[in-house]
Structure 1
């Protein structure tokens, strides 16, 4: 749990890109994500870039410059409103605004070259469609995407899902940094019962549960140890569980402030799609979810 509400900016043990990119639509439901993005920029000491994407409501062949100018001006006004709100919330440094024509996932990906991470809003769990930005953007992004869910932080731990894949290693690093910045505990979870996602040479482990647990517990400890050494003040709890990854992570996320997973696990084969576990977390996790791409 958090050890205090005052969270001074902490220097991370690496260089960062210059900004946090936020996808803004001006709705009341988008405000928790704006709060998160502003706080993220403050904690990391980065600029905040607010991007709004406007939508042309007519067929592409229909040209009306006057209507387009009105839509664009409405977008500019909306961005001014969002920037003012971010400043009121304590955004550090410069708040930049960017107006782009949609679709939103493509526009945010194009704008993310200088972004340390991208923050977007998300519908509540079990209400997320496969065509939503929260589902499409993490599948194509080269930067971590934080899909903010709910009215605000619970002041709980950061939970990281680990499975031995390169993506989960990157997710663990991102989760540790978030725990450092937010001054909270880190809970690293390995749901090890996933026989369909391991090479044939490891299938025999699933005939001996005690051996499977020992092997996975050692692997988990080895994955976490370098991060413990880099940030020794962060309380870290590790859990190797003989459960399916999605079940283990959803249980751990029940009291979490943030759940961090890789974009594709050991079973991910299609580079254009999210892994099954990360998709399930976006759909069903009760807290904010960060999807971290493979390095």
Structure 2
């Protein structure tokens, strides 16, 4: 059987949004869907519970899985669907699933702020999964546009390949953004720097065009627009995400501390993007 799209569910509305996104992606890719819900780890967690609590957790888990399966079968009856109810931490279970998945899909937490908005499970999976991870917070549709961030790094090369695939599958345009950031000391309320910075922008444009060349050849039907400019990356990506069906980013760019699992721009966009965000690590393997 071909590698599945995997979605983690917990019974909340946000995870059901993730189920619908994952089911649609599985349908477009002609892949099976695998629905995962984790149970408490008996040897670690159950001694803390009163008698019968594990049975309740298992019953609840099976109900969560059944609800997700019913939604998928109603919306996409031709998508093969399997389930898993592992006794693991959610992050560990999904990272393990990523070794044999086309992609991992998760819902974000909702209305809180800071790290609580995304949740530690999603951050761990994004940082360590062996396949693309899609975090579904705000659901958008109808823009017919995929947005990808690119800076010439290996991480953005992997992200661009995934973005081309998604654009091809969805019949969408692809808007590639390469924002160099404002010059040091430049007033943040001014959107455009002085003209003499254009040379650096031109170099970046050429670098990203080189990244795009082979991908354009592989997907000649995808309409691609490249925007390279001297704007703050967060502001540029946030604005673009308001008119996109998916934002695709590499896990790390050219800057920052390389000991971190994901870069600061990707981390912040996971919290604040106005559409689902796919994070693609440069080390993720290609899945046939």
Alignment match of 1:38 (pick from 23, 27, 38) = 23
Closer, same or farther in 2 for the Cα pair 1:126/1:63, shift >3 Å?
A: closer
Retained in 2: the 8 A contact 1:32–1:150?
no
* TM-score, L = length of structure 2: 0.85
Q: Give 1:61 shift.
A: 4.1
Retained in 1: the 8 A contact 2:40–2:54?
no
Q: Give 1:125 shift.
A: 7.6
Residue 5 of structure 2 aligns to a residue whose secondary structure is strand
Q: Deviations over 1:134-180 (max 9, x none)?
A: 32320121211001122442433100000111111000000010000
Q: Give 1:229 shift.
A: 1.0
Count matched residues: 271
Q: Give 1:271 shift.
A: 4.1
Does 2:122 match 1:134? yes
Corresponding residue number in structure 1 for 2:63: 77
Retained in 2: the 8 A contact 1:125–1:286?
no
* TM-score, L = length of structure 1: 0.83
Does 2:280 match 1:292? yes
Q: Give 1:72 shift.
A: 1.4
Corresponding residue number in structure 1 for 2:94: 108
Closer, same or farther in 2 for the Cα pair 1:159/1:151, shift >3 Å?
A: closer
Retained in 2: the 8 A contact 1:17–1:114?
no
The Cα RMSD (Å) is 2.6
Does 2:217 match 1:229? yes
Residue 115 of structure 1 aligns to a residue whose secondary structure is coil
Corresponding residue number in structure 2 for 1:54: 39
Q: Give 1:80 shift.
A: 1.8
Corresponding residue number in structure 2 for 1:145: 133
Corresponding residue number in structure 2 for 1:90: 76
Alignment match of 1:265 (pick from 243, 253, 256) = 253
Corresponding residue number in structure 2 for 1:7: none
Report which stretch shifted further, 108-117 or 38-47: 108-117
Corresponding residue number in structure 1 for 2:178: 190
Q: Deviations over 1:201-228 (max 9, x none)?
A: xxxxx99512101111111211111111
Specify every segment of 5 or more residues in structure 1 that has no aligned partner in the other structure, as ranges. 1-15, 197-205
Retained in 1: the 8 A contact 2:139–2:276?
no
Closer, same or farther in 2 for the Cα pair 1:254/1:133, shift >3 Å?
A: same
Closer, same or farther in 2 for the Cα pair 1:102/1:59, shift >3 Å?
A: closer
